[in-house]
Amino acid sequence: MNNTYPGNLFVVAAPSGTGKSSLVNALLELDARVKPSISHTTRDPRGQEINGREYFFINEASFERMVAQSQFVEWAKVHGHHYGTSKQMIEERIAQGSDVILEIDYQGAMQIKKIFANAVLIFILPPSWEELRGRLLRRGEDKPEVIELRLRNAQEEMAHAASFDFVIINEVFEKALFDLKAIVHAQRLSFQAQRTSRPEVFKNLNL
């Protein structure tokens, strides 16, 4: 796969209940230049989720077939289910010149960084352990035993935050969204990004 591309690749990881999806969705609404990557998963749809919008919901056999055919740029087992980012999804987005944002777990983030060295890894932390548990309970989407599994996994997931480029603490939603927008904006100000988006300025200045 060609790993030089005009857009930026943002990877957001966080334990579930941290507000990651709400933050990413708010960014997507505000910024039309950022597009989501829709993953494939073997877990069942939750709540209002729609196939092809939040995820492509597929069975184990189909997932295994896609793995065997090297259709994933990364994949991992999370909370007992398989999740993967398809190459086709990323390639389509990159071809459109969009910035792409991936909401994946830390294992996937590490795989992406190996392939796309310029990927920007962002970790979202809850303000406290008590708040994380409270949010998972209030969400009311999962059975108690699933919540306990998610909390156990959260500890392991958060231990990997140190390998990420940026950390956002989601205490107050608006502040966390401001931080996310700031990271995206700063990335667009890198020398390479500016030269791509404003070639006339660089040409004029003989740069």
89 near ligand 5GP, rule: CB under 6 A: no
Q: Is 79:13 a contact under the CB 8 Å cutoff?
A: no
Q: Which is nearer to ligand 5GP, 8 or 85 (CB)?
A: 85
Give yes or no for residue 83 binding ligand 5GP (CB under 6 A). yes
Binding positions for ligand 5GP, 149-188, rule CB under 6 A? none
Given the complex with ligand 5GP, which of 139 and 203 has the nearer CB atom? 139
Taking CB under 6 A as the rule, does residue 103 contact ligand 5GP?
Answer: yes
CB atoms within 10 A of CB 192: 12
Q: Residue 19 interacts with ligand 5GP (CB under 6 A)? A: no
Stretch that binds ligand 5GP, among 61-69, 70-78, 127-135, 181-189 (CB under 6 A): 70-78
How far apart, in whole angstroms, are the C-alpha atoms of residue 66 and residue 43?
16
- Is residue 123 involved in binding ligand 5GP (CB under 6 A)? no
Identify which of residues 64 and 197 has a Cβ nearer to ligand 5GP in the complex. Answer: 64
Instruction: By CB under 6 A, name the binding residues for ligand 5GP.
Output: 16, 39, 43, 74, 76, 78-79, 83-85, 103-105, 107-108
